[in-house]
Structure 1
């Protein structure tokens, strides 16, 4: 009888030990005070990102490439993997592409690139409320699973507008936009204000490419640039994505200056391109990926201007001697004045809404 009781006592101890050993939260869970369970942030991190690019896709040496560079940096420094989709028509293909990524449940974050994505991102985010999204170049409010990344393009464009006026010998400069909408008008508005800040009497010519392929139509951009040059524009700034290649070609052939946009385009035609209005989309992309992986994702609106080092110019590596030290110092002072609030740049073109 004593042996039986001893055996039962040992078995009871083992049962109690095993039960206590399994009392910790399951993997991916942690206990709150009071014993309630919640899913830990780190449990959901897969380090997978998806991106749907804007019209023109990678290789535009502009906006899309900047997003790609941000993801490449995140791959190198954060260890992510990313999936990509390059639509021929962002407006018609984006929704399906975004939703195909979302339905897998495999992505920590899905990024829609460009203002033409707005309705598609809203639709996808509404259909998949547990999926985190980000949109670049637009603002979406009211959805907890969408964060917006925008830029004060008008502030960066003010800087290159000022430079254009400093370098113009004819008193006429030009702006070529892709599609006429509030985002691209911010480039136009800032450029005109910057030019007139230096020379109140300067003439600023503006033209838009338009059509169904506004941001990937170098031939039309070249023709329109030649028209501006015929009207005496000797510095031409573009905000037209891949179409900018046509602007640069015309500027080189006609021996005038051009100004690039979004990414560092200075080396495309060295010496012809004075500078590029840098829009640090790569930085914004990297930051939102990092925040998401670290459990810091929110649906707040992130806006990058001169003060936030979100927009600016290149370092004039090919044109420093042409521009001159005095003009560069003047630009540095203008940049500081914008950052300090001494110069306020309007995001809208006078007479336009």
Structure 2
């Protein structure tokens, strides 16, 4: 079975921005006004907490931006967040990108929802994107969302099939609805595969500003505790904090399951890669790229653009050779994939 290789290609299935947008449809492209003769300076992204170098979520957005700049021959700009910033700070950041001539302007992460809502209303001829939020309803805003619970279900199947201790772990960065989707899918995948497997769970913080997505030390401590409780497979949905989870797993020679990007391939995690069994990925890169492409082609639309297992927008990575050698696991994953994409298996989005 080819997973990420197939899925990354299919990730361009997210390309159906115009086709798969499910909210109000009107076109909106016009930075300094491409329809009125102006020209966009290129694509801009405003990073979520963790910023560039998180080896997962933000880096995937960067890859999409870089590909768009290269393939479409447009400019690019990425702006880092600041510690303890307010919605007003985010609003100012997006406004400055618009004034500099960028289109589209993309907020990476649900925390940008208030800012995107405010700024998009002031600049209706500019296309905006927001990753991981579908609450902003506007003709010039694309809500780029994912069925993370489906990839997490496959991670749960993997954990249940590979655990020897019959205990597996989950570390969530922040106790919010988005990360609940990862937990819900993972636990369901574990229990559907082997009801006797115990899942130990921990969220690092209640709020993002307390470092749940940006503190590898917190992730490491949480994973160490779960491993001490018997977990021999630990899945994280914790952004940069997940590096600590992976480090803890490698130190104890147990399996880690990464998130968002294929973490087996991340240079910063190379010394731990032997213990990164797989990663539950979502193709943020394709979503960013496709939105930029739609603006260049003057056919951008607002609305919800949902990437799921069937479209190839979420997946399970297969880069680790050991993962591909596990025949029983591969058979179980194939069955699970078929069940999800056919609709036979309904994966919960809440615990």
Moved over 3 A (4+): 39-45
- Pair 1:348-2:350 in alignment: yes
* Among candidates 328, 331, 339, match of residue 329 of structure 1: 331
Structure 1 segment 43-54 matched on structure 2, within 5 A: 43-54=37-48
Q: Which of 90, 94, 105 does residue 90 from structure 2 map onto?
A: 94
Cα distance in 2, alignment partners of residues 198 and 316 from structure 1: 23
* Greater Rg by CA: 1
Tell me the residue number matched to 2:184. Answer: 189
Out of 58, 65, 90, the position equivalent to 2:59 is 65
Q: Distance in 1 between matches of 2:320 and 2:277?
A: 9
The Cα shift of 1:189 comes to 0.4
Structure 2 counterpart of 1:75 = 69
Q: Summarize the alignment of residues 159-178 of structure 1 with structure 2, pairs less than 5 Å apart.
A: 159-178=154-173
Q: Which moved more, 1:200-209 or 1:149-158?
A: 200-209
CA distance in 1, matches of 2:64, 2:274: 27
Show structure 2 runs of 5+ residues with no match. 1-32
Matches within 5 A, 1:117-132: 117-132=112-127
1:198-246: CA deviation from partner (whole Å, max 9, x where unpaired): 1012211110111521111000110111111111111000001111110
Distance 1:42 1:63 in 2: 35
Q: C-alpha distance in 2, partners of 1:40/1:288?
A: 15
Residues 47, 108 of structure 1: 8 Å contact kept: yes
Q: Deviations over 1:294-353 (max 9, x none)?
A: 1111112100000010111112434236x512211221221122111111101111xxxx
Q: Distance in 1 between matches of 2:319 and 2:168?
A: 19
Alignment of 1:202-351 (within 5 A): 202-210=197-205, 212-267=210-265, 268=269, 269-320=272-323, 324-349=326-351
Query: Normalised by the size of structure 1, how large is the TM-score?
Result: 0.84
Q: Which has the higher contact order (CA 8 A, sep 6+)?
A: 2
Question: Given that residues 259 and 276 in structure 1 are in contact (C-alpha distance below 8 angstroms), is that contact kept between their aligned partners in structure 2?
Answer: yes
How far apart, CA to CA, are the structure 1 residues paired with 2:138 and 2:232? 46
* Equivalent position of 2:16 in the other structure: none
- Aligned pair in 2 of structure 1 residues 283, 303: CA closer, same or farther (>3 Å)? same
Please tell me whether the aligned partners of residues 146 and 313 of structure 2 are also in contact (alpha carbons under 8 angstroms).
yes
Match of 2:27 in 1: none
Query: Per the alignment, in what secondary structure is the counterpart of residue 140 of structure 1?
Result: coil
What secondary structure, in the 3-state scheme, does the structure 2 residue paired with 1:61 have? coil
Distance 2:288 2:84 in 1: 19
Number of matched pairs: 309
Q: Per-residue displacement from partner, 1:86-129 (whole Å, max 9, x unpaired)?
A: 0124752322111111233x122100000111111112212323
8 A contact 1:90–1:117 mirrored in 2: no
- Alignment RMSD: 1.7
Q: Does 1:138 align with 2:141?
A: no
The verdict on how the C-alpha distance between 1:160 and 1:124 changes in structure 2, with shifts beyond 3 A counting, is same
- CA contact 2:44–2:65 (8 Å) conserved in 1: no
Alignment partners' CA distance in 1, 2:96 and 2:229: 48
TM-score normalised by structure 2 residue count: 0.84
